[in-house]
Structures are given as structure tokens and as C-alpha cells.
Amino acid sequence: MNQTLTTDYKFILRDENEIPFIEGTSMKVVELVTSIHAYGWSPEELHFQYPHLSMSQIYSALAYYWEHKLEIDADVQRRFEYAEKLRLEAGISPFVKRLRSEGVIERKVILT
């Protein structure tokens, strides 16, 4: 049985792992924040991109983020590092290797 914990923020709950998410959705606060960091989206653009979220839910999630910024930014960083680890472990796909050998795409250098 999944247990949710309430917070002091309307629409924001914490799951059994204490990850904050928007009530009535599967959207985690960290996912919303990642969209802002990655694309520079405003609250209005977030609403356009995620029409299932109300503006009230978005602003509540953002208020929660600003009050828990260090914790959530650390989670963003952990997720990025994990994704980067998986990317490096996976290596270049055979499809991409073939496209490069045929000159269809150029080698992309990723600076870290």
C-alpha cells in the first residue's frame, strides 16, 4: 500500500520515499523544476506544456521548490549524474555508428 504524506503546501504531497509530487498526478516537483532549468519555461509555459496541471498546482509546486531549493536541486543533480552514468555505460548505439560512418551525422562532442 502506497503511503502519502501531507505538506504545508496545497496540492503537494510526499510519496512513501518522501519525494514531493503534485496531488492527483504522477508529476514530481523535481520534474517540473527540471523543465524550468532545461527550457527556461515560465509558469504559463509549464501550463501550456502540461495542460493537466492547473496554474494553482504549478505555483504551489514552485513555492514548495523555493522553500526546499537545496534539497530539490541536489535531487536534480543526482538524476543528471545517474543519467550521465547510464549514457556512458550504454556507449554509442550501432545505429549512430553506422550513420557516422556513412557521414550522415557528425561526431558530437559533449563537454562536462
What tens digit of pLDDT does each residue of 4-60 get?
Answer: 889 999 999 999 999 999 999 999 999 999 999 999 999 999 999 999 999 999 999
Q: The CATH number of the domain where 37 resides is what?
A: 1.10.10.10
Report yes or no on 106 lying in a domain: no
Report yes or no on 34 lying in a domain: yes
Predicted local distance difference test score (pLDDT) of residue 108: 65
Split into its structural domains, the chain has a count of 1
Report yes or no on 107 lying in a domain: no
Which pTM was predicted?
A: 0.77
Report yes or no on 53 lying in a domain: yes
In whole angstroms, how far apart are CA 112 and each of 26, 74, 80, 81?
Answer: 31, 18, 12, 11
Q: Which domain holds residue 60?
A: 5-101
Predicted local distance difference test score (pLDDT) of residue 80: 92
Report yes or no on 110 lying in a domain: no
Distant-in-sequence, close-in-space partners of 3: CB < 8 Å, separation ≥ 6: 15, 16
Q: Which three cell numbers stand for residue 80?
A: 543528471
Predicted local distance difference test score (pLDDT) of residue 112: 52
* Residue keyed to cell 509530487: 21
Whether residue 83 is predicted with pLDDT greater than 80 in this model: the reply is yes
